[in-house]
Every structure is written in C-alpha cells, then in structure tokens.
Amino acid sequence: MSEQPTAAMIVIGDEILSGRTQEKNAHHLAQVMEQIGVRLSEIRVISDDHGAIVATVNALRAEVDYVFTSGGIGPTHDDITAEAVAAAFGASIDIRDDARALLAAYYPEGELNDARLRMARIPEGAELINNPVSRAPGFKIGNVHVMAGVPSIFNAMLDGLKDSLAGGPQTLTRVLRAQAPESKLAPGIAAIDTARPEVSIGVYPYFLSGIGPGATVVLRSTNSAELDAALAEAREVARALGVEPIEESPT
C-alpha cells in the first residue's frame, strides 16, 4: 500500500494528557483518511507547550505528506498553536485582514474583543481553512493543517477540506470472525501474510462468555484480487480447525 500518501496527526492539549478529557478527533480523522486513500502513519498527543509543538510539527511535516493538528486555536492564553506552528515554519504571524473580516461579520457590533482577535492571527503565507460552525478559521501552511480541538468544529473543517487532499488507491478491508483461539489460527494466517506481501493482516482476539475464545481476522489491501485470494485462504485456515468463519462488514 506504499502508493498511498501518508498523514500524521498532532493533538495539542494538556486536558487529554491529564486524563480530564477523552480525545475524540483522532478516530474520526483516521476514518476519513481511510476513506480517501491516505495512510495515517502516526498520532501524537502533546502538551500545550511551545517547544513541544514546534519540535513535533517540524519532525512530522518532514516525514509525511499531510499533517493535521487539533486544539489550541481559541481566544485564551493557553491557545498557542498558531504562534508555535508559525515558529516551526520561521513565518511571521499577525492579525490578518481576511480572518478579521470573517470574525467581524460573525460577532455583533462591539463584540470582537482583543481575545477574539487572537483567532485572526494567521502565519504569513498560510491559507485559511473554513469554519462553518463558529467562523474563527483554521489555516494551512505548507503541508500542515491547523484545526480546532472542539470535535464539531474539527469535523466540519475536515469535511470542508478533505476533497482538496490527493488520495491514493483506497484500502479495501475484509473481516472474518472465527470461533477459534487466535493462537490456533496463527500459523496459517502468518503463512498467508508472508506469501501475500500486498495484503496486511491483523488478528484480534475476543472472548464470548459461555462459548470461548475467538478471533477477528482483518485483511487489508489496495489490490482486490490479492485481497480476495487471501480471504479465501483465511477461510480455509479456519475450516481446517473445524470452524466455519463468518464474514463481517468491515465497519
């Protein structure tokens, strides 16, 4: 699946690392990347810390085709993502007229205070990312997409920009569930994985109370012929153990 573009996500937020808030955006991003044929290779959750943001943005933007950040672009003192991303690119940052105009049109007369104006600070050379929920824009600089942490806004921003991302061939997924211990499926599945390098296979155990251990076999490839062949072979691995596997919907 090496012909797919790659992506990485940076979640910026002390509230996630302290266990106060459950992170919600990464799973959604992962599903959207899967839909458009982009391989998400890494997710990092980091602190609201200037140095950590600069270092992480610079490490990941050199490694993957698309970087997405979530969090830290609101109006308060702990919203430092825009400055830090600008610093990572060596770009200047200031209130930009186009971003200010979006906020001015949204807030009632006299309500565009200094804190809100922080949300119009955009690095030099960046393109705005539309926020249909509350107008304060995200931005794209280089291959880095800077988006809100609030899930409804993150999702709306991603929805608006995803058609602009070049994807590769879509990853196709097939799922077999077999009521057999994963350790007994293991040798046969490993042989398929080795013989078919274009297919990536994961095996995940489960336990049904009163019935016993089973395993979900997830087969993934951009090559449908290879995938079908691997699926047929995986069925035979289960049948050789006296188990009729059930094909499940991949989602």
Is residue 93 involved in binding a copy of itself (CB under 8 A)? no
Per CB under 8 A, which of residues 128..157 are in contact with a copy of itself? Answer: 150
CB burial readout 206-216, b (16+ within 10 A) else e: eeeeeeeebbb
DSSP of 169-208, one letter per residue?
SPPEEEEEEESS-HHHHHHHHHHHHHH-TT-EEEEEEEEE
Nearer to a copy of itself, 128 or 218 (CB): 218
Give the residue ranges of DSSP H helices in 69-164. 81-89, 97-106, 114-117, 151-161
Provide the minimum distance between the beta carbon of 125 and a copy of itself in the complex, in angstroms, as a whole number.
Answer: 26
Per CB under 8 A, which of residues 213..242 are in contact with a copy of itself? Answer: 218, 220
Binding mask 37-56 for a copy of itself (x = CB under 8 A): --xxxxxxxxxx---x----
Encoded amino acid at 161, one letter: L
Would you say 112 and 129 are in contact if contact means Cβ atoms under 8 Å apart?
A: no
Among the listed residues 12, 68, 73, 74, the single contact to a copy of itself using CB under 8 A: 74
Among the listed residues 15, 83, 127, 228, the single contact to a copy of itself using CB under 8 A: 15
Among the listed residues 3, 109, 114, 163, the single contact to a copy of itself using CB under 8 A: 114
Q: By CB under 8 A, how many residues form the interface with a copy of itself?
A: 63
Is residue 200 involved in binding a copy of itself (CB under 8 A)? yes
Is residue 249 involved in binding a copy of itself (CB under 8 A)? no
Per the document, the length of the chain is 251
CB atoms within 10 A of CB 48: 19
Question: What helix, strand, coil percent values describe the chain, rounded to 5?
Answer: 40, 25, 35
Is residue 34 involved in binding a copy of itself (CB under 8 A)? yes
Is residue 185 involved in binding a copy of itself (CB under 8 A)? yes
What 3-state class would DSSP assign to 102? Answer: helix
Is residue 172 involved in binding a copy of itself (CB under 8 A)? no
Is residue 16 involved in binding a copy of itself (CB under 8 A)? yes
User: For residue 177, what are the β-bridge partners?
Assistant: 216, 246
State the Cα angle at 200 between 23 and 203, rounded to 5°: 70
Residues that bind a copy of itself (CB under 8 A): 14-23, 26-34, 39-48, 52, 74-78, 113-116, 118, 150, 171, 173, 182-187, 189-190, 193-194, 200-205, 218, 220, 250-251
